[in-house]
Structure 1
Amino acid sequence: MKIKEIIRGWYQKEGVSSILKNINWLVLDRIIRMVGGLLINAWVSRYLGPKNIGIWDFSVSVTSFFLIFSSLGIERVAIKNFVEVSHEENIKNFSTLLSLRIIISIVSFLGAGFLLQYYAENDIEKIVIGWLVASSILIQVTEVITFDFQANLLSKFTVISKTTGFILASLVKVYLIIYNYELTYFIGAFLLELFVGSLLLLYHYFKLRKPVYFSFSKQLFQEYLHSFLPLLLSAFAYTVYTQIDQVMIGRMIGDEALGVYSRAVKLFMISTAIYTILGSSLFPELTKQWKKGINSLNSSYERISSMLTGISYVGVFFTWILADLVIDILYGEAFAGAALNLKILMISAIFQYNGGMRGNYLILTNKRNIIMISSFCSMGLNVLLNYLLIPKYGTNGAAFASVFTVFFTAFVLNFFFKKTIVIGLAQLRSFFMIYFIRKVFKRN
């Protein structure tokens, strides 16, 4: 009974219940998109086939470079400016951010559209699809509202808005499949999801923050512009690393190969989503240990790295056993090549999980310059490896490029800096689960 009262008292502390509820909404959003998205996307992929999926994914990959530019890369700075401010300051921040985002989104939309038109090489269908996908940049200008909701633990409204759009678009996709519609209509369903989500975000913002009016701040505008470039470079480097393989496959091999490979990437992203949930949950513990001192931080880092590495081993094991069956069930024989792509990609999950908390460690110890260097190393290495391996090994070459890139930037790079050797050694021991082996021997 005493334990129950302690837990209840802790839960009812100011802020604790709100934080937990906020996290629960974010986790719910991840689950809905992982499960629902996987099933709907599998059905759509079967219906459209590798070539059409490849055309769609190529446009999305190219657009993603411009989308990261339009998103400004200043999420953390923006969220900080929304935390516990007056209504007047909130409106001023929102108006300034929205103005900046609209301006840059228009430029990004035009850049993505014209580049995709150039790549289309006078293919009318590809030109139309390119411009439609590029227009998603304009629809997503309302994402600035999510910064306010994140800062004030109101993520449930973000999840409700986006999930409603996702469900509605999924129903439309089912209708399109049943009645044999063409690829362009599925792009329309993709845009519908974003549009509905954006409208609902605006609705919730106007409801929660009324009265809403326009209040531009030149000082805030300059602050965001000042923060824009360095944060954007890091975000852009990450986007290049995650998307360049698909762009290069589309250009070097063709749409059909890209369609097959991108299905493996979609499945692999489930492991990334799981890591994101685990990582966000474990970061507070790392922060707590940092406050106790560097030795506590190092010990906690190795413990977390060992635990996450162990989880990755389980994921890789089951992926290698079940990949062929899963690809066949979800996508069919036309996408059979995705199974080997997925098996290779999953090897990188070991290094991703093993060194995933590395960035958080570097932030806590104020070594942000190493994060920047790592981002650009991953971008440059990945582009180089894709250029060398895709012509020789096809899509499997792209998968190997991802594995080598994560291995180098998340593990090997630690030994290039004196300040991160301690991280590299901890991760090396984590590969062999030394932390838990020691615990077992101590008990015995």
Structure 2
Amino acid sequence: MRSSSNPLWLRFLPAGIRNLLEGKEGLHAAIHNSGWIFFDKILRALLGVLVGAWVARYLGPSQFGELAYCIAFIGIFQSVTNLGLDGIVVREIANHPRRANIILGTTFQLRLLIGTASWAVALLIYGFTNSFADQGIWIIALVGAGMIFQVADTVDLWFQGNSQSKRTVLAKVSAYLISNAIRVALILFEAPLMAFAIVIALEGALTAIALHFSYKRFPCNGMWQKHYPEAKKLLQESWPYLISGLSIMLYMRIDQIMIKSMLGERELGIFAAIIPISSLWNMIPVAICASIAPMFARKRSEGIVIFNAAMVNMFRLFWVLCLLVIAVTWLLSGLVVQLMYGQAYIEAIPVLNIYVLTCIPVFMGVGQGLWLLNERKSYLSPIQTVTGAVVSIITNLMFIPLWGIEGAAVAAVIAQLSSCFLINSIFARNLFVIQMGFHPRVTE
């Protein structure tokens, strides 16, 4: 007998797929949740590329490079604010829903404290290493304000743990659309660089407000409470993810900081302009993994063989998607750069063709997060990411003087491959085999 709880969208699928999905309510929720996350990621990626390209074209490589440098600088500090808690909090909420108010309240307090401190430290470091009278200090202050507003993302973890991403998406998309409309208006009215920095801070504030109202419509039971034993428990498990997140941001951003230092703002502007295009596809593994995380946690409880089989299938899908992304980029890169950015950014074409190869370690790295979390192998994360950061610094020092921004792209590929595959092949052979799309021989 067919389940009466089948969602409306199931009726529009082919009969074969529909028959496989009917009656599977848990899978329905994951797919529905995935759909909303995909919508959010796709909209953000597309607007980020289109409006971002327009901003880059309007500002020109030098001014865009100055803005990109400040964003990269703040990004290193911003990675600390999350404290590596996202996956852990979602898991704890899913497993202990009655304690959600304590988990969320504790997480919020921790992030607010660290976010405020990180913002102040970023201002001081920039001021001492550059100048407190420099325009960049004001851009840093505005962009860095997002670290404080970012604590509102704690609400997102509540919705993720309950497969209610629709509520988060609607809140964040509203703020994102408004901020991008303002960016377009700034271009049309020929606004100065500082105005674009103000919009970054404004977007963070609008997102926090929207999430607040969204949460009030679907709150957890009880007022949020901070609980020091809970904080200690969360931090004891999250510190490897914190180090991992910091290292990831370091080796994802250090190239931009080094380009500005070694080559100048113009070259950084050209390099930074192509990153949104290359990263356009990275939303796919993030959306998939965010949606299926609760389902994979349940599969791990059913047994290691079932869990490994699911992981293998996911990585095989990711390999196919990576090859498609690379092929499309190599085919269209020249046309895309010239149409979207103009002649001033023509040097970005070979950089894009190299940088797109990072989609392989990105897809595989996002996917391995589910394995590390469910196998409680979080100690591998700092090893991977510290390795990536060290390799990134070394290879950028080697290749930027030789090949300029193309050398920075080569360094990014090598660093991310080292982090994702080399370390796993040494310290986590089962994970490495699974990443390559094969079933591991050892199942226990």
Q: Deviations over 1:6-28 (max 9, x none)?
A: 94795555444333222111111
- Residue among 247, 267, 271 paired with 1:261: 271
Whether 1:26 and 2:26 are equivalent positions in the alignment is no
> Cα–Cα, structure 1 residues 256 and 166, in superposed 2: closer, same or farther, change >3 Å?
same
- Secondary structure of 1:388's aligned partner: helix
> Cα–Cα, structure 1 residues 371 and 229, in superposed 2: closer, same or farther, change >3 Å?
closer
Whether 1:135 and 2:145 are equivalent positions in the alignment is yes
- Residue among 399, 423, 426 paired with 1:389: 399
Task: Report how far residue 210 of structure 1 moved.
Answer: 8.1
Structure 2 match to 1:238:
248
Q: Deviations over 1:322-348 (max 9, x none)?
A: 111101111111111111111111223
Paired with 1:309 and 1:180, the residues of 2 have a C-alpha distance of 43
- Residue among 405, 414, 421 paired with 1:404: 414
Structure 1 match to 2:58:
47
Task: Verify the 8 A CA contact 1:286 1:300 in the aligned structure 2.
Answer: no
Matches within 5 A, 1:6-405: 7=18, 10-83=21-94, 89-121=99-131, 124-209=134-219, 213=223, 215-278=225-288, 294=305, 305-353=315-363, 357-363=367-373, 367-405=377-415
Q: Which has the higher contact order (CA 8 A, sep 6+)?
A: 2
Task: Verify the 8 A CA contact 2:168 2:211 in the aligned structure 1.
Answer: yes
Task: Verify the 8 A CA contact 1:79 1:150 in the aligned structure 2.
Answer: yes
> Cα–Cα, structure 1 residues 11 and 25, in superposed 2: closer, same or farther, change >3 Å?
farther
Paired with 1:302 and 1:19, the residues of 2 have a C-alpha distance of 19
Amino acid across the alignment from 2:187: I
Task: Verify the 8 A CA contact 1:59 1:116 in the aligned structure 2.
Answer: no
Task: Report how far residue 119 of structure 1 moved.
Answer: 4.0
> Cα–Cα, structure 1 residues 212 and 40, in superposed 2: closer, same or farther, change >3 Å?
farther
- Secondary structure of 1:72's aligned partner: coil
Amino acid across the alignment from 1:74: L
- Secondary structure of 1:121's aligned partner: coil
Measured on the aligned residues, the alpha-carbon RMSD in Å equals 3.3
Paired with 1:302 and 1:213, the residues of 2 have a C-alpha distance of 41
Task: Report how far residue 171 of structure 1 moved.
Answer: 1.1
> Cα–Cα, structure 1 residues 23 and 123, in superposed 2: closer, same or farther, change >3 Å?
same
Q: Deviations over 1:6-65 (max 9, x none)?
A: 947955554443332221111110111111221111111111111111111111111112
Mean CA deviation greater in 371-380 or 36-45: 371-380
Unaligned residue ranges in structure 1 (runs of 5+): 436-444
Task: Verify the 8 A CA contact 1:78 1:147 in the aligned structure 2.
Answer: yes
Task: Report how far residue 351 of structure 1 moved.
Answer: 4.8
> Cα–Cα, structure 1 residues 356 and 176, in superposed 2: closer, same or farther, change >3 Å?
closer
Mean CA deviation greater in 193-202 or 98-107: 98-107
Q: Deviations over 1:210-240 (max 9, x none)?
A: 8974633232233234334333112211111
TM-score, structure 1 length as denominator? 0.85
Task: Verify the 8 A CA contact 1:116 1:131 in the aligned structure 2.
Answer: no
User: Equivalent pairs: percent with the same residue?
Assistant: 24
Q: Deviations over 1:218-270 (max 9, x none)?
A: 32233234334333112211111211111211222221111110112111111
Paired with 1:197 and 1:98, the residues of 2 have a C-alpha distance of 15
> Cα–Cα, structure 1 residues 9 and 386, in superposed 2: closer, same or farther, change >3 Å?
closer
Task: Verify the 8 A CA contact 2:329 2:353 in the aligned structure 1.
Answer: yes
Q: Deviations over 1:177-222 (max 9, x none)?
A: 1111101111112222221111011112223228974633232233
Amino acid across the alignment from 1:17: H
Paired with 1:208 and 1:160, the residues of 2 have a C-alpha distance of 13
Mean CA deviation greater in 267-276 or 235-244: 267-276
Q: Deviations over 1:389-408 (max 9, x none)?
A: 22222111110011112333
Paired with 2:227 and 2:51, the residues of 1 have a C-alpha distance of 43
Unaligned residue ranges in structure 2 (runs of 5+): 3-13, 440-444
> Cα–Cα, structure 1 residues 288 and 412, in superposed 2: closer, same or farther, change >3 Å?
same
Task: Verify the 8 A CA contact 1:67 1:137 in the aligned structure 2.
Answer: yes
- Secondary structure of 2:190's aligned partner: coil
- Secondary structure of 2:404's aligned partner: helix
> Cα–Cα, structure 1 residues 309 and 20, in superposed 2: closer, same or farther, change >3 Å?
closer
Paired with 2:104 and 2:417, the residues of 1 have a C-alpha distance of 40
Task: Verify the 8 A CA contact 2:31 2:291 in the aligned structure 1.
Answer: no
Paired with 2:91 and 2:317, the residues of 1 have a C-alpha distance of 31
